[in-house]
């Protein structure tokens, strides 16, 4: 098969290498000359995946027309660049199945990224999501994800192309649930990082993960997701890995804030932090549908309105007592 990966960051490189080791013809594209030149010279991203050599057989290029007649085209850019990347694909003769691996929403429209892609091109769209750090996938650490699509055959084709003893994929057709799990877990990871930066403990992180999952599921169900999706790889699985791992940029960003760094400086230090942008968008989405999301609301106030992190935690701990089992769908008026 011919597999093209758009975006030569950590995740793009790791996926390109997984496809290459399954015997596919692989092309890795970036719009940035400097990035491509560095990868061509050293066959390594010293900043993102130090010590991981990219095989010579992967064609690294800035020439997008070379992806023509791909069987699978993967979008592995930051979420902010997904629409412009989909627009570029309009001029390509046959992209094959388009797989989105970016996690987030579109800022202006609050659309899910698969909706953004389908607005621009008519190819079948698959979302690949779940607990997966590029640093581990590139080193062939066993990893399990979901390939989610309304088109079962497209999801199966992606699964067949990527499956190996290191990479296991499950089908799923709940696009809303899978995409929301992937986008919103980054917010909870920022919150977990803040608590770790403050020197709080395992109890706090575990509480954030479980109550954070309840909030994510609440918004997801309000938007039409299946509740059980949030207990799966793209929900709980991804939430655990992002909130507990040293590889997560979202967690690292939060940690720096917890240690007292300003928001702008922390963003500068870490690079792409999807959770920062997702916080504002999730806050707006929750207001729109009337879903109660106390953790995400407080994250928004900390990141965008200078609320002190200790005040945010105090507020969350002293909220009115609730039954843990109460229905997922609780409107703001309840
Ligand atoms: N890193 C991971 O382990 C991981 C795992 C799963 C999902 N993801 C998701 O995948 C996406 C990419 O993550 P990453 O860590 O590789 O990010 P990154 O910032 O390391 O790299 C993104 C790459 O996208 C390309 N790019 C950047 N701006 C672009 C633009 N305007 N137009 C076209 N291409 C552009 C560049 O080649 C850049 O290197 C994110 O949404 C992230 O949440 C990452």
Asked if 16 and 37 count as a contact pair (C-beta separation under 8 A), the reply is no
Atom of ligand 1 lying closest to residue 137 CA = 3
Task: Per residue of the chain (334 residues), give pLDDT as tens.
Answer: 999 999 999 999 999 999 999 999 999 999 999 999 999 999 999 888 999 999 999 999 999 999 999 999 999 999 999 999 999 999 999 999 999 999 999 999 999 999 999 999 999 999 999 999 999 999 999 999 999 999 999 999 999 999 999 999 999 999 999 999 999 999 999 999 999 999 999 999 999 999 999 999 999 999 999 999 999 999 999 999 999 987 899 999 999 999 999 999 999 999 889 999 999 999 999 999 999 999 999 999 999 999 999 999 999 999 999 888 776 654 444 4
272 Cβ below 6 A of ligand 1? yes
CA of 31 to the centre of ligand 1 (A): 12
On whether the pTM is more than 0.85, the answer is yes
Q: Which are the contacts of 15, defined by CB distance < 8 A and separation ≥ 6?
A: 5, 74, 76, 101, 137, 162
* Tokens describing residue 166: 């290191």
7 Cβ below 6 A of ligand 1? yes
* Tokens describing residue 82: 């997904």
Q: What is the pLDDT of residue 333?
A: 41
The answer to whether residues 202 and 298 belong to one domain is yes
248 in a structural domain = yes
Q: What is the pLDDT of residue 259?
A: 97
CA of 272 to the centre of ligand 1 (A): 8
**Which CATH number does the domain housing residue 165 bear?**
3.40.50.720
133 Cβ below 6 A of ligand 1? yes
- Taking the C-alpha atoms of residue 68 and residue 50, their distance in angstroms, rounded to an integer, is 31
Protein residue closest via CA to atom 31 of ligand 1: 81
- Taking the C-alpha atoms of residue 268 and residue 118, their distance in angstroms, rounded to an integer, is 32
Q: Which are the contacts of 210, defined by CB distance < 8 A and separation ≥ 6?
A: none
10 Cβ below 6 A of ligand 1? yes
The answer to whether residues 312 and 289 belong to one domain is yes
Listed as own residue / partner, the contacts of 142-145 with beta carbons closer than 8 Å and 24 or more positions apart are 142/166, 142/167, 142/168, 143/167, 143/168, 144/168, 144/169, 144/170, 144/233, 144/237, 145/169, 145/170, 145/233, 145/234
Q: What is the pLDDT of residue 329?
A: 55
The answer to whether residues 165 and 201 belong to one domain is no
Q: What is the pLDDT of residue 334?
A: 40
Listed as own residue / partner, the contacts of 42-47 with beta carbons closer than 8 Å and 24 or more positions apart are 45/8, 45/9, 45/10, 45/13
325 in a structural domain = no
Instruction: Single out the residue in 173, 208, 236 at which a domain terminates.
Output: 173
107 in a structural domain = yes
Its domain, for residue 74, covers 2-173
Among all residues, which ones are annotated catalytic? 185
Q: What is the pLDDT of residue 328?
A: 61
Atom of ligand 1 lying closest to residue 135 CA = 3
- Taking the C-alpha atoms of residue 152 and residue 183, their distance in angstroms, rounded to an integer, is 23
The answer to whether residues 134 and 261 belong to one domain is no
The answer to whether residues 27 and 153 belong to one domain is yes
334 in a structural domain = no
165 in a structural domain = yes
Q: Give the count of domains, the chain.
A: 2
Q: What is the pLDDT of residue 294?
A: 96
The answer to whether residues 142 and 31 belong to one domain is yes
CA of 77 to the centre of ligand 1 (A): 4
The answer to whether residues 35 and 159 belong to one domain is yes
48 Cβ below 6 A of ligand 1? yes
Protein residue closest via CA to atom 18 of ligand 1: 9
Q: What is the pLDDT of residue 327?
A: 61
**Residue of 6, 8, 11 to test ligand 1 pocket, by largest number of atoms within 8 Å of CB:** 11
39 Cβ below 6 A of ligand 1? no
30 Cβ below 6 A of ligand 1? yes
């Amino acid at each position: 098969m011919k597999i093209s990966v758009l975006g030569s960051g950590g995740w793009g490189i790791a996926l390109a290498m997984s496809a290459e080791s399954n015997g596919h013809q692989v092309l890795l594209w970036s719009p940035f000359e400097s990035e491509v030149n560095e990868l061509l010279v050293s066959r390594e991203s010293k900043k993102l995946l130090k010590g991981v050599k990219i095989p010579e057989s992967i064609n690294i290029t800035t020439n997008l027309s070379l992806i023509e007649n791909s069987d699978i085209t993967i979008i592995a850019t930051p979420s902010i660049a997904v629409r412009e990347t989909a627009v570029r694909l309009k001029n390509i003769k046959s992209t094959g199945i388009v797989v989105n691996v970016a996690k987030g929403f579109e800022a202006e429209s609050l659309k899910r990224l698969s909706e953004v892609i389908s607005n621009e091109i008519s190819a079948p769209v698959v979302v690949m999501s779940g607990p997966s750090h590029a640093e581990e996938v590139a080193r062939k650490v066993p990893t399990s994800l979901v390939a989610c699509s309304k088109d079962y055959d497209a999801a199966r084709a992606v699964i067949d192309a990527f499956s190996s003893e290191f990479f296991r994929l499950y089908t799923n057709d709940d696009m809303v649930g899978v995409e929301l799990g992937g986008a919103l877990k980054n917010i909870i990871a920022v919150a977990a990082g803040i608590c770790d930066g403050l020197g709080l403990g395992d109890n706090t992180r575990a509480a954030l993960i479980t109550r954070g999952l309840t909030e994510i599921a609440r918004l997801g169900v309000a938007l039409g997701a299946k509740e059980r999706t949030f207990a799966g790889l793209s929900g709980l699985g991804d939430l655990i890995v992002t909130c507990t791992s040293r590889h997560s940029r979202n967690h690292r960003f939060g940690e720096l804030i917890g240690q007292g760094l300003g928001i702008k400086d922390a963003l500068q230090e870490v690079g792409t932090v999807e959770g920062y942008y997702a916080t504002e968008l999730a806050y707006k989405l929750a207001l729109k549908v009337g879903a109660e999301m106390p953790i995400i609301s407080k994250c928004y106030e900390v990141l965008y309105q200078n609320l002190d992190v200790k005040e945010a935690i105090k507020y969350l701990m002293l909220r009115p007592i609730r039954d843990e089992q109460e229905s997922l769908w609780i409107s703001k008026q309840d």
